[in-house]
A and B are shown apart, each in its own frame.
Chain A
């Protein structure tokens, strides 16, 4: 009998273990719970399918139905079209006529790159970082060099890295994003001051998105007691080192940064034009990748918080971040709700090992993997597209449609807590407060629950106003009456004092 039960148990549970990638999400209480996958593998692009060389792809950007990839080993730029076929492959770029004229070059030599790490493409041209030559190269859409921007004029950087004098750190731009006015935002290696803002003519403007270091009162006190030598021995408090930047349609910069001790819950920033982080953290947890992780224990497991290396935003403020450490993708909405988690580590073609860049290609997500030298294409599942559409409808103010989408989402994944909030908001709008409260309770939205409850309570008070006042009058007069009765019983009188 026991054998039979055991066999049945194994048979019943086996399918769950055989699912290659289990999708999960975090509940309100921070537990990792099963969830329907939001995105799933659709296609892959690699050197074979392209017929090109890919050795160490570093960055990927999508512009006008084309995918631009830079490779730091071959020093090449690849252009891929919407059918995932190779259009161009460049290792050198001719100089444009105006560049020759402006620089006064007599014998034009084609420009080559040395270890390009970042690329961005806008209407005005293609911008590639070239850390080997301490510069940013700007190409026009005919792939001719229009301009090069060297070391910014700031004390941080060594103005002439080749002369052997140590006058600062070398300017090694890694990631770049460009706004519509051609202002460049550059992440440079070892530059802790923030993101470099460089004007369209190449002059340095300022550092933006600086994370000030905040010391605790105890640290300030203990530091005030230390001598210079002791202070020098202390571990340096370095501000955040940015890993990637991407500008969105409103000229806000999405930035990811490395997690450090004093920056554990702030790895994703949305920097407004003033240089202030305005990312919303209204979800159950701040947007930070994995919420639950093992803290430094042994060498057998991956420990520590997520290591976010790239960010891609799409319509209605939905953005996805890439965790290189565990090869996972976290998608958030503009409020900071964690929508879905995807991705899996492995060498199969639907997985990736060392993701370096992501980009939205329409609704598809491209993941550039340096480890397997592949671009993996993820496509929204039914579940994911319902979620995205619900958010889109909500942003457009079509709350009925949004609630309908959330209903579909719940059909697929009953544990999806934020969907209940979406429906609750519609019910609140329709003044069905009692039901709205139930939904907000399921979705753990205290703010809206409170609003719904307030209205519900008012409703009850209004409906039963006569009853409540009546009860107060009856109880009050009853109590007074009893007191009077007691007084008379004892032979006293309420009419005059004695």
Chain B
């Protein structure tokens, strides 16, 4: 039990923290020594989806503009999954062309691990926001800002390291990833629209026939 707990602590807290503070060494171990685990990444992504639902409902009354009736957990989960999917697929397709050394699994794991600061800082600060006055809300905003910056930092360093890119190539890869994400979104919407029209067409023919005969 104790070793299991220790292992768990190492996987979920110590190793992500080590990557955060020593990005080059950390991602070296991440990639070369295969210290990263997919289950950790999946757990962090799940926690991030949960965090979005949690913060929608439980951010302090003073800074929560959300109508609780608008909360749709499935929607939140879906948007996180979609975002992660788009980013990983987009990044993979771009970096494959740009001689990136990372595999799809590694990109997915980097994305998951990068959410570590957001999860670890986000939950406490949302809870904290319930105990602050309006003037003290700056602390909450600061904490969330730090969380987002650290997440961005981890993601950036992760992509840089697993693909073994330089600084400018990483920036270029990110821009290309965003472009490819929007292309995928566009194609997806186009596809759904066309399918919808096609189905409507078939349905109307069926109705016409069934009403006639």
Interface residues, chain A, with chain B CB atoms under 8 Å away? 29, 441, 446-447, 449-451, 453-454, 457
Q: What residues of A have a CB within 8 angstroms of the CB of B69 in the complex?
A: 29
Chain B 128-161 interface 0/1 with A at a Cβ cutoff of 8 Å (1 = within): 0001011100000000000000000000000000
Please give the distance in Å from B131's CB to the nearest CB on chain A.
7
Tell me if A450 and B131 are in contact (CB < 8 A).
Answer: no
B61: Cβ under 8 A from any A Cβ:
yes
Known: A29-B67, A449-B61, A450-B133; 6 extra A-B contacts, CB below 8 A, are A29-B69, A446-B61, A447-B134, A451-B133, A457-B131, A457-B133
Please give the distance in Å from A132's CB to the nearest CB on chain B.
52
Tell me if B67 and A450 are in contact (CB < 8 A).
Answer: no
A-B contact pairs, 10 of them (CB 8 A): A29-B69, A441-B61, A446-B61, A450-B62, A450-B134, A450-B135, A451-B133, A453-B133, A454-B133, A457-B133
Alpha-carbon distance A451/B131, docked complex (angstroms): 13
Interface size class of B (residues with CB under 8 A): under 10
Q: What residues of B have a CB within 8 angstroms of the CB of A446 in the complex?
A: 61-63, 134
Q: What residues of A have a CB within 8 angstroms of the CB of B67 in the complex?
A: 29
Alpha-carbon distance A451/B136, docked complex (angstroms): 12
Alpha-carbon distance A450/B131, docked complex (angstroms): 10
Q: What residues of A have a CB within 8 angstroms of the CB of B62 in the complex?
A: 446, 449-450, 453
Q: What residues of A have a CB within 8 angstroms of the CB of B135 in the complex?
A: 450
Alpha-carbon distance A449/B133, docked complex (angstroms): 8
Alpha-carbon distance A29/B67, docked complex (angstroms): 6
Q: What residues of A have a CB within 8 angstroms of the CB of B63 in the complex?
A: 446
Chain B residue nearest in CB terms to A440: B61
Chain A residue nearest in CB terms to B61: A441
Q: What residues of B have a CB within 8 angstroms of the CB of A457 in the complex?
A: 131, 133
Chain B residue nearest in CB terms to A28: B67
> In the complex, how many residue pairs between chain A and chain B have their CB atoms under 8 Å apart?
20
Chain B 63-85 interface 0/1 with A at a Cβ cutoff of 8 Å (1 = within): 10001010000000000000000
B102-148 contacts to A (CB < 8 Å): 131, 133-135
Alpha-carbon distance A116/B42, docked complex (angstroms): 75
Chain B 155-195 interface 0/1 with A at a Cβ cutoff of 8 Å (1 = within): 00000000000000000000000000000000000000000
Q: What residues of B have a CB within 8 angstroms of the CB of A450 in the complex?
A: 62, 133-135
Alpha-carbon distance A447/B63, docked complex (angstroms): 11
Main secondary structure of the interface of A (DSSP, over half): helix
Alpha-carbon distance A324/B143, docked complex (angstroms): 49
Alpha-carbon distance A446/B62, docked complex (angstroms): 5
Q: What residues of B have a CB within 8 angstroms of the CB of A447 in the complex?
A: 134
Among the interface residues B62, B63, B69, which one has the most CB atoms of the partner chain A within 10 A?
B62
Please give the distance in Å from B103's CB to the nearest CB on chain A.
42
Chain B residue nearest in CB terms to A441: B61
Chain B residue nearest in CB terms to A455: B133
Alpha-carbon distance A441/B68, docked complex (angstroms): 13
Chain B residue nearest in CB terms to A30: B67
Alpha-carbon distance A453/B133, docked complex (angstroms): 7
Chain A residue nearest in CB terms to B69: A29
Please give the distance in Å from A72's CB to the nearest CB on chain B.
47
Chain B residue nearest in CB terms to A450: B134
Alpha-carbon distance A454/B133, docked complex (angstroms): 6
Q: What residues of B have a CB within 8 angstroms of the CB of A453 in the complex?
A: 62, 133
Please give the distance in Å from A39's CB to the nearest CB on chain B.
29
Please give the distance in Å from A58's CB to the nearest CB on chain B.
43
Please give the distance in Å from A357's CB to the nearest CB on chain B.
38
Chain B residue nearest in CB terms to A448: B134
Please give the distance in Å from B72's CB to the nearest CB on chain A.
15
B49-70 contacts to A (CB < 8 Å): 61-63, 67, 69
Q: What residues of B have a CB within 8 angstroms of the CB of A454 in the complex?
A: 133
Alpha-carbon distance A130/B175, docked complex (angstroms): 64
Alpha-carbon distance A453/B62, docked complex (angstroms): 10
Please give the distance in Å from A376's CB to the nearest CB on chain B.
36
Alpha-carbon distance A453/B132, docked complex (angstroms): 8
A-B interface, 8 closest residue pairs, ranked by CB to CB distance from nearest: A450-B134, A29-B67, A450-B133, A454-B133, A446-B62, A450-B62, A453-B133, A441-B61
Alpha-carbon distance A450/B62, docked complex (angstroms): 7
B19-34 contacts to A (CB < 8 Å): none
Please give the distance in Å from A450's CB to the nearest CB on chain B.
4
Alpha-carbon distance A454/B135, docked complex (angstroms): 10
Please give the distance in Å from A244's CB to the nearest CB on chain B.
34
Q: What residues of A have a CB within 8 angstroms of the CB of B131 in the complex?
A: 457
Please give the distance in Å from B67's CB to the nearest CB on chain A.
4
Chain A residue nearest in CB terms to B68: A29
Please give the distance in Å from A196's CB to the nearest CB on chain B.
42
Alpha-carbon distance A451/B63, docked complex (angstroms): 14
Among the interface residues B61, B67, B69, which one has the most CB atoms of the partner chain A within 10 A?
B61
Alpha-carbon distance A259/B150, docked complex (angstroms): 44
Q: What residues of B have a CB within 8 angstroms of the CB of A29 in the complex?
A: 67, 69
Alpha-carbon distance A453/B63, docked complex (angstroms): 14
Chain B residue nearest in CB terms to A27: B67
Q: What residues of B have a CB within 8 angstroms of the CB of A441 in the complex?
A: 61
Chain B residue nearest in CB terms to A453: B133
Please give the distance in Å from B173's CB to the nearest CB on chain A.
29
Q: What residues of A have a CB within 8 angstroms of the CB of B61 in the complex?
A: 441, 446, 449
Please give the distance in Å from A190's CB to the nearest CB on chain B.
41
Chain A residue nearest in CB terms to B134: A450
Chain A residue nearest in CB terms to B130: A453
Alpha-carbon distance A449/B63, docked complex (angstroms): 11
Please give the distance in Å from A358's CB to the nearest CB on chain B.
33
Q: What residues of B have a CB within 8 angstroms of the CB of A449 in the complex?
A: 61-62
Please give the distance in Å from B66's CB to the nearest CB on chain A.
9
Please give the distance in Å from B63's CB to the nearest CB on chain A.
8
Alpha-carbon distance A454/B63, docked complex (angstroms): 15
Alpha-carbon distance A2/B61, docked complex (angstroms): 44
Please give the distance in Å from A75's CB to the nearest CB on chain B.
53
Alpha-carbon distance A453/B135, docked complex (angstroms): 12
Alpha-carbon distance A454/B61, docked complex (angstroms): 14
Alpha-carbon distance A267/B69, docked complex (angstroms): 31
Alpha-carbon distance A450/B130, docked complex (angstroms): 11
Alpha-carbon distance A441/B64, docked complex (angstroms): 11
Chain A residue nearest in CB terms to B65: A29
Alpha-carbon distance A96/B62, docked complex (angstroms): 64
Alpha-carbon distance A457/B134, docked complex (angstroms): 13
Please give the distance in Å from B71's CB to the nearest CB on chain A.
12
Please give the distance in Å from A16's CB to the nearest CB on chain B.
21
Alpha-carbon distance A370/B165, docked complex (angstroms): 74
Alpha-carbon distance A116/B164, docked complex (angstroms): 80
Alpha-carbon distance A453/B69, docked complex (angstroms): 25
